[in-house]
Amino acid sequence: MRRGAVGVAALLFAGVLIGALLGLPAPGAGLPPLVTAQMGNSGVTHPVTAVLLNFRGYDTLLEVAVLLVALLGLLAVQRSERAVAPGAAVEPVLQTLARRAAPLMVVVGVYLLWAGASRPGGAFQAAAVLAAGAVLAHLARLLPAWSAPRAWLRTGITGGFLVFLAVAVALLGGGALLQYPPAHAGLLILLIEAGLTVSLALLLAGLFLFLSEEGTRR
């Protein structure tokens, strides 16, 4: 009964939505010309990075805040005493592979961070690769699950956001939020991205490592 009703509603919704999409007028010029025109002032040469950290920097600032809140929520609902599974024996092959892969992933992460200024890449991708490395190390039993966030972890997780916020506050005198002076924009963006990479990597890894019940905590 409920399946049928949901199915009919979904079909109707899909029909209306597709009709609306197909009925849209031809697109105007939109925002790309504006982005292209302002690229010279952005401090970077890759348009997506320019939008992410310069033109719409406040979106990214608030997004990092959302991530922090999500991690806080996760820590709040998580049981304080987790059932830690004894964990099956780890394949030595996996452990060796993880040992070999982890330094490579760090190199790839740093490269992605650096590449973000001029080509696809940036803090988000770099952080994702670093976090994936941490998860891999955890699954290979090289890195224990995290229990309570200790001081260094708290500093690392909030550090990037605080650097971003500090830059935003310092530039408030200029009139608008996160309006970098074009001469220093490149350096400021690199500073913010470096901070964000560390914070986001710890945050994304934390989403997994605070939840994980696999393996032993050392």
Partner 1 sequence: MTVGLVFDLLLAGTLLWSAWRTLAAPTPERAVILFIVFGLLMALAWARLSAPDIALAEAAIGAGLTGALLLDALGTLRRRAGGGP
Partner 2 sequence: MSTGMLFALVGALLFTMGAAGVALPGAPLRRIVAFNVMGSGALLVLVGLAQRGGGVDPVPQAMVLTGIVVAVAATALALALARRLGAPGARAASGDDD
Closer to partner 1 by Cβ: residue 112 or 192: 112
The pair of three-digit structure tokens given for residue 12, joined into one six-digit string: 């109707």
The CA angle 180-34-56, to the nearest 5 degrees, is 45
* The one segment of 21-29, 98-106, 167-175, 178-186 that binds partner 2 by CB under 8 A: 21-29
- Residues numbered 133 to 172 that lie near partner 1 (CB under 8 A) are 135, 139
**Which residues, 6 or more positions from 197, have their beta carbon under 8 angstroms from its beta carbon?**
109, 113, 123, 126, 127, 130, 160
From 94-102, 170-178, 186-194, 198-206, span contacting partner 2 (CB under 8 A) = 198-206
DSSP string, 67-85: HHHHHHHHHHHS-SS----
Out of 38, 41, 47, 106, point to the residue binding partner 2 (CB under 8 A): 47
**Taking the complex as a whole, how short is the minimal distance between the CB of residue 20 and partner 1, in angstroms?**
19
144 touches, from partner 2, partner 1, none (C-beta below 5 to 8 Å by class) = none
Interface pick for partner 1 out of 128, 165, 191, 194 (rule CB under 8 A): 128
Nearest to 140 by CA among 184, 74, 89, 182: 89
Side-chain half-sphere CA neighbours of 24 within 13 A: 8
Interface stretch with partner 1, choices 36-44, 131-139, 170-178, 189-197 (CB under 8 A): 131-139
Told to check if 177 binds partner 2 by CB under 8 A, we report no
CA angle 104, 108, 114 (to 5 degrees): 145
Q: Which of residues 136-165 bind partner 2 (CB under 8 A)?
A: none
CA distance 157 to 71: 10
CA distances from 74 to 8, 70, 84, 108, 204 (A): 36, 6, 18, 29, 12
Looking at residues 90 to 109 of the shown chain, list those that interact with partner 1 (rule: CB under 8 A): none
Selected from 6, 12, 14, 85, the binder of partner 1 by CB under 8 A is: 85
Name the residues that contact partner 2, by CB under 8 A. Answer: 2-3, 6-7, 9-10, 13-14, 17-18, 21-22, 24, 26-27, 30-32, 35, 47-48, 50-52, 55-56, 59-60, 63, 66-67, 70-71, 73-74, 77-79, 124, 128, 200, 203-204, 207-208, 211
